[in-house]
Amino acid sequence: MNNTTTQGGPEKKPGLGGFGLATAVLSVSTLVFFGLYASTFREKNNTCSEDTWLAELNSELNTADAWEVSSIGDKEIVRLVAVLFDGFELLDMFGPLEFFSVDVALPVHYEFIFVAETQFIKSRGGVTIHVDHMFSDGPLDEPADLLLLPGANPHHTQNAANNTALIDFLQREGERAGNVMTVCTGAGIFARTGLLTGRNATSNKMLFNWVIQQDPGVNWQYYPRWVTDGKYWTSSGVSAGCDTALAFIADKHGQQVADFVADIAEWSSADRPYVPHPAPTQTPTTV
């Protein structure tokens, strides 16, 4: 097997991983907004007063109608299938989904499809999700462009790894999917499918010994925050899923798009600290 591996950061690859040519071309209005906002975000921090900066930003947003880009319009639809199980970790799933939902910055629209064994599935934190598709409904009508699997605490992770219906679904749909992303112990659960055998992957560090036991044939990488190998993206624990999602966005849509998504979310990481715009002298009444 000829593996392509990136540890701790995205490696730029040719092509868009099956997303189609539409992802290669941003709309004119999006490009205008990037030119007005993203490319000058940090520079303006140091070159003008807070009042001037806010006035310019308000003018740019209103003139360019930039936020209208958030409508789906003619954007290509990317099917993101989120696979849930009882006791899944909230941030593992909804951290990445937050970044994939920033339509104002993304050249495609990520359509979320929630899947689980039962119609209602409860997270470890008690939030209950009404899913769109159950395992008993059979295969998905169309393969996922991106299959996303969260992790959980040791108890719920072990239960998920022993769930034959879940593993069968992941094996079938993971093989069909254009890309697969696991967060935290989700890599250990997904390893039960055999699809990671012979590949490089990472997972939650505190439960790494358990993860290794799920498939010793995987080349488990302890130190990276995330690892990519072909279409498979595996991340370290919990919050690392957010960094992995941004790395995925950079890989598929470009670093400028990923930076813009991160700025909107005010996301900060060791290699990319968030730089806030100057504070206003008074609370603005409109944005």
pLDDT in tens, 201-244: 999 999 999 999 999 999 999 999 999 999 999 999 889 999 99
Residues 195 and 235 in one domain: yes
- If asked whether residues 124 and 252 sit together in one domain, one would say yes
Q: Residue 76: its pLDDT value, please?
A: 92
Residue 66 domain boundaries: 26-70
Question: 175 and 59, same structural domain?
Answer: no
Check if the beta carbon of residue 103 is closer than 8 Å to that of residue 70. yes
Region class of 4: left (phi > 0), else alpha (psi between -120 and 50), else beta: beta
The arithmetic mean of pLDDT across residues 174-198, rounded, is 98
Q: What is the Cα–Cα distance from 33 to 268, expressed in whole angstroms?
A: 22
The answer, yes or no, to whether residue 65 has pLDDT greater than 60, is: no
Radius of gyration, CA atoms only, the chain: 20
Confidence of residue 69 (pLDDT cuts 50, 70, 90): very low
Joined tokens for residue 208: 């790494």
Report how far residue 36's alpha carbon sits from residue 49's, in angstroms, rounded to the nearest whole number: 17
pLDDT for the residue 266: 86
Query: Stretch 104-128: mean pLDDT, rounded?
Result: 95
Residue 238, pLDDT score:
80
Residue 159 domain flag: yes
Same domain assignment for residues 63 and 89:
no
In this prediction, residues 122-135 reach a mean pLDDT of 95
Average the pLDDT over 105-130 and give the result.
95
Residues 194, 242, single domain; the answer is yes
Query: Does some domain include residue 20?
Result: no
Do residues 130 and 48 both lie within one domain?
A: no
Asked if residue 122 is part of any domain, the answer here is yes
Higher pLDDT, 216 or 62: 216
- For residue 257, pLDDT over 60 is answered with yes
Higher pLDDT, 273 or 53: 273
What pLDDT sits at residue 192? Answer: 98
Average pLDDT, stretch 172-176?
A: 98
Q: Which of 34-38, 99-103, 166-170 has the lowest mean pLDDT?
A: 34-38
Q: Is the pLDDT of residue 132 over 70?
A: yes
Domain count, the chain: 2
Considering the entire predicted model, what is its pTM? 0.77
Asked if 79 and 66 sit in the same domain, the reply is no
Identify whether residues 59 and 134 lie together within a single domain.
no
Q: Could you tell me if 60 and 83 lie in one domain? A: no
Q: Which pLDDT belongs to residue 274?
A: 66
Which of the listed residues 44, 70, 96 is the one where a domain comes to its end?
Answer: 70
Hey, how many other C-beta atoms are within 10 angstroms of the C-beta on 226? 27
Residue 1 lies in a domain: no
- Model pLDDT, residue 268: 76
195 and 208 fall within a common domain: yes
pLDDT, average across residues 96-111: 94
Query: Tell me, what's the pLDDT at 2?
Result: 43
Instruction: Evaluate if residue 21 carries a pLDDT over 50.
Output: no
Residue 7 inside a domain? The answer is no
Instruction: Indicate if the pLDDT at residue 264 is higher than 70.
Output: yes
Q: What is the rounded (10 degree) CA torsion for 33, 178, 97, 138? A: 140
Mean predicted confidence (pLDDT) in 94-109: 94
One domain for residues 144 and 243: yes
Average pLDDT over residues 105-114: 95
How much is the pLDDT for 14?
Answer: 33
Domain-embedded: residue 276: no
Token code pair at residue 234 = 């595996």
CATH number for the domain that contains residue 130: 3.40.50.880
Asked if residue 248 belongs to a domain, the reply is yes
- In the chain, which ranges are E strands? 5-7, 76-83, 108-116, 120-122, 128-130, 133-134, 146-149, 180-182, 200-201, 219-220, 226-229, 232-235
